[in-house]
């Protein structure tokens, strides 16, 4: 048994790197003979264009996929908010933006304006937190179910 294994390994090592000749004229994916293909650098320049990728209609010429196309329903309208919540959002996002612009431009606003911007930010944030829904959107929702 050991002699047969040694002979098999010796045959593998002796034939390592040999390639079998599968066809007389192998073809590349573009469909032309490899021997007649010429220099691959010729395909990069000049007027020769690279072969076109087959499209959906080329792969399935008898399919009527255009007729069965999915058309999604129109999206629902964007939600609107009340004036008090809009003021809170303006306070949360607007106050830091105004203070940042003043800092970048080197403008020192009066102290009263600075205090009002800080109060607008904190007040808007607290208002939004207090007005948040405590209940889940769907009481029967158990989260992600696999």
At 100-119, the pLDDT tens digits run 999 999 999 999 999 999 99
The overall average pLDDT reported for the chain is 79
pLDDT at position 15, please? Answer: 81
Q: Any idea which residue has 């009340």 for tokens?
A: 82
Confidence of residue 76 (pLDDT cuts 50, 70, 90): very high
Mean pLDDT calculated for residue range 43-52: 59
């Amino acid at each position: 048994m050991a002699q047969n294994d040694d002979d098999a390994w010796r045959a593998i090592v002796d034939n390592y790197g040999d390639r079998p000749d599968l066809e007389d004229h192998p073809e590349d994916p573009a469909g032309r003979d490899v021997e007649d293909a010429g220099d691959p650098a010729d395909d990069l320049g000049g007027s020769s264009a690279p072969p076109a990728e087959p499209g959906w209609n080329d792969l399935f010429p008898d399919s009527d996929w255009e007729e069965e196309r999915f058309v999604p329903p129109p999206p629902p309208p964007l939600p609107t908010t009340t004036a008090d919540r809009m003021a809170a959002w303006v306070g949360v996002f607007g106050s830091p933006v105004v203070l940042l612009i003043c800092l970048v431009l080197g403008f020192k606003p009066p102290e009263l304006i600075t205090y009002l911007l800080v109060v607008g930010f904190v007040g808007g944030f607290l208002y939004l937190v207090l007005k948040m829904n405590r209940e889940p959107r769907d009481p029967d929702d158990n989260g992600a179910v696999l």
